[in-house]
Amino acid sequence: GKWGEHELDYLLFTVREVNMKPNPDEVADVKYVNREQLKELLRKADAGEGGLKLSPWFRLVVDNFLFKWWDHLEKGTLKEVIDMKTIHKLT
């Protein structure tokens, strides 16, 4: 439509647990998960189980990039997919 929201998101990848203090006005909850746990969370959110809700922005990142990036992170090749110049229009 004529009006829309544009969001700029930064993603931090870490392979260890860190103490986080997200802004409670922006983030309701955080959770450390492995790949299979994330897939299960996505399935539950899609099915509406347990009232689980995910940010629509997060879902777009998952659907378009996250598992590919996760593969590169595990292989130690994440630098191959770093792109600080492209603005992606996700719908």
Alpha-carbon distance 28 to 37, whole Å? 19
Tokens of 77: 């090749």
In a domain, 13, yes or no: no
Q: For 84, which DSSP code?
A: S
In a domain, 71, yes or no: yes
Model confidence pLDDT, tens digit, residues 17-38: 788 898 999 888 888 888 999 9
In a domain, 89, yes or no: no
Model confidence pLDDT, tens digit, residues 30-83: 888 889 999 999 999 999 998 888 888 889 999 999 999 999 989 999 899 888
Look up the domain containing 40 and give its range.
Answer: 35-80
In a domain, 20, yes or no: no
In a domain, 46, yes or no: yes
Q: Count the residues in the chain.
A: 91
Q: What pLDDT score does 2 carry?
A: 67
pLDDT of 11 strictly over 90: no
In a domain, 85, yes or no: no
Residue whose C-alpha is closest to residue 28's, from 65, 63, 58, 5: 58
Q: Count how many domains the chain has.
A: 1
Alpha-carbon distance 5 to 3, whole Å? 7
pTM equals 0.74
In a domain, 67, yes or no: yes
Alpha-carbon distance 57 to 42, whole Å? 13
